[in-house]
Amino acid sequence: MPLTPDITHPSPHTAVIRLRDGAGDVIADVTCVYSRAAATGALGELRVRRAGLTARERVRALVLLVREALALADHLGLTRVLTEASAEAVPLARRLAGSDGAEAGGRRLFLAELATVRTHVLTTTTPAGDLTGARDDDAAIEEAARAAVDVRR
């Protein structure tokens, strides 16, 4: 299922990235906030909006959201990015960030230079949203993607 990004800017420091299927329906979304003055952007909670996707389709949607968010951050001239991950989402966040993050009140905080994270994501994922190379944490990543499903509209 090919997914197309749709980016809107509802306010001067906010971007909403939606992935739409061929019919135009929203499959997944994320809200990002950023400050050009601070050269920093924050990735919000990744949400899969369509029920019934396979684990692989959910992971692919989440990876594509991250790729789009990092491309947007680069386009905006940001140099630092951050996000938090719930315990369920940590395996996917670690895989995409290329780091362990730091403990932050029962969640993990991932803060890094944009160039480092974007390079890591672009070399460990495909443009279609697949993770490259099988690893021991693949089952945990699929479970993390399952936790991101939020079918509220």
In a domain, residue 123? The reply is yes
Give domain status of residue 153, yes or no: no
Residue at 52 is within a domain = yes
Q: How far is CA 81 from CA 12, 90, 138, in A?
A: 17, 16, 24
Instruction: Identify the residue whose tokens are 């991932």.
Output: 110
Domain membership flag for residue 95: yes
Is residue 152 in some structural domain? no
Q: Is residue 79 part of a domain?
A: yes
Q: Which residues contact 84 (CB under 8 A, 6 or more apart)?
A: 104, 107, 108, 109, 110
In this structure, is residue 91 part of a structural domain? yes
Phi, psi (rounded to 5 degrees) for 101: 70, -175
Tell me what pLDDT residue 74 has.
96
Q: Residue 131 belongs to what domain range?
A: 4-147
113: CATH: 3.40.630.30
pLDDT at 149: 58
User: How far is it, in rounded angstroms, from Cα 100 to Cα 74?
Assistant: 23
The confidence score (pLDDT) of residue 137 equals 64
State residue 144's pLDDT score. Answer: 65
Averaged over successive runs of 10 residues, the pLDDT of the chain (153 residues) comes to: 91 96 94 95 91 87 95 96 89 90 91 95 92 71 65 46
What total number of domains does the chain contain? 1
Q: Which two tokens stand for residue 144?
A: 């993390």
